[in-house]
Amino acid sequence: MSEQWLEVRNLTKNYGKFRALNGLNMEMKEGELFGFVGPNGAGKTTTIKIIAGLLRADTGQIFLDQVDITKDLVALKENIGYVPDYFGVYDNLKVMEYMEFYASTYGLIGREVRELSLELLEIVGLEEKENQYVDALSRGMQQRLCLARALVHNPKILILDEPASGLDPSSRVAMKNVLMELAMNGKTILISSHILSELSEMCSSIGIIQKGEMILQGSIKEIVSSVNTMNPLIIHILKRQEETVAFLRAHPLVKTLAISGNEFQIIFEGDAKEEAYLLQELVEKQIPVISFGRKKDNLESIYMKITTEGGEKSD
């Protein structure tokens, strides 16, 4: 099995003169819950629609488990479950009929479909709603029903385009819990969202897209730590301020120094090992250190930093 299970290579898409995707590359591993973020108009929905087979890319390839699904439509339709950002409703259709209808569009009919649909409705917490009309369900329930519908053909990968948009907080939590449960059971999920705090709670990896290019991608842990090494180092001491200032000013890796009482904020151009040596030297100079560490960013501040600064490209 390939390490990169879903691989998007050099995807481009133009709408007239507007370039929506500019050689986008993206990689996902099997069983991953991947968060896809970016500002409005960055190309998230275009990417998702191309992967779901709802839009043709101008150039580029998409490999799913080493099969180019841009050329193999059967593989694409069998392996991808798609949940759009808006839940469209047919009038006069009950929940179970809704499930059975979409199952039949994949050629699935019969008693097994009913049993499978019941299982899926149970997963999304709608097992008691099977005989209700779909248009009578709340927005949150409809979105969860849409999620169950997307799973009806047991796709390898589930793609959700801003599934929490327009949902109230409790519906969002319910949706998040369902997705985390699916991910724990081994389902590979690609989710685009603007709610970064939620993504950071549930996703194992993220990709940040801007102007049709993937500007940062990796596991959340890696991204946070790589961005944090560029953040100022904050040292809080108990006393001996003058010695500390003299020592830090003389240190070759300290570029700037800001002092606020017994707190020092420095731009330190060293890695984690050199940080450890700095701390060791402070302790050896008998400076009583209360706290020592980089200023920590969360996913939201990282996203803001990258997208507003134009972003540095990462590998």
DSSP string, 169-227: HHHHHHHHHHHHHHHHTT-EEEEE-S-HHHHHHH-SEEEEEETTEEEEEEEHHHHHHHH
Rounded CA-CA distance 307/41 in Å is 12
Measured from the CB atom, is 90 or 277 closer to other proteins? 90
Query: 10 Å Cβ neighbour count for 100?
Result: 19
Measured from the CB atom, is 56 or 273 closer to other proteins? 56
Q: How far is CA 311 from the centre of its chain?
A: 17
Rounded CA-CA distance 286/282 in Å is 7
Q: Write out the residues near other proteins by the rule CB under 8 A.
A: 15, 49, 52-56, 73-74, 77-78, 80-82, 84, 86-93, 97, 101-102, 104-107, 146, 149, 153
To other proteins, the closest distance from the beta carbon of 113 in angstroms equals: 11
Residue type, 40: N
Measured from the CB atom, is 53 or 218 closer to other proteins? 53
To other proteins, the closest distance from the beta carbon of 19 in angstroms equals: 14
To other proteins, the closest distance from the beta carbon of 142 in angstroms equals: 12
Measured from the CB atom, is 92 or 256 closer to other proteins? 92
To other proteins, the closest distance from the beta carbon of 56 in angstroms equals: 5
To other proteins, the closest distance from the beta carbon of 99 in angstroms equals: 12
Measured from the CB atom, is 54 or 136 closer to other proteins? 54
What are 226-232's contacts with CB under 8 Å, separation 24+?
226/314, 227/297, 227/302, 227/305, 228/294, 228/295, 228/296, 228/297, 229/271, 229/272, 229/294, 231/294, 231/295, 231/296, 231/297, 232/258, 232/265, 232/266, 232/267, 232/268, 232/294, 232/295
To other proteins, the closest distance from the beta carbon of 13 in angstroms equals: 10
To other proteins, the closest distance from the beta carbon of 291 in angstroms equals: 52
Rounded CA-CA distance 177/128 in Å is 18
Measured from the CB atom, is 107 or 252 closer to other proteins? 107
SS3 string, 45-59, reads HHHHHHHCCCCCCCE
To other proteins, the closest distance from the beta carbon of 260 in angstroms equals: 54
Contact 176, 182 (CB under 8 A): no
Measured from the CB atom, is 84 or 311 closer to other proteins? 84
Measured from the CB atom, is 135 or 274 closer to other proteins? 135
Find tokens 């991204």 and name the residue: 223
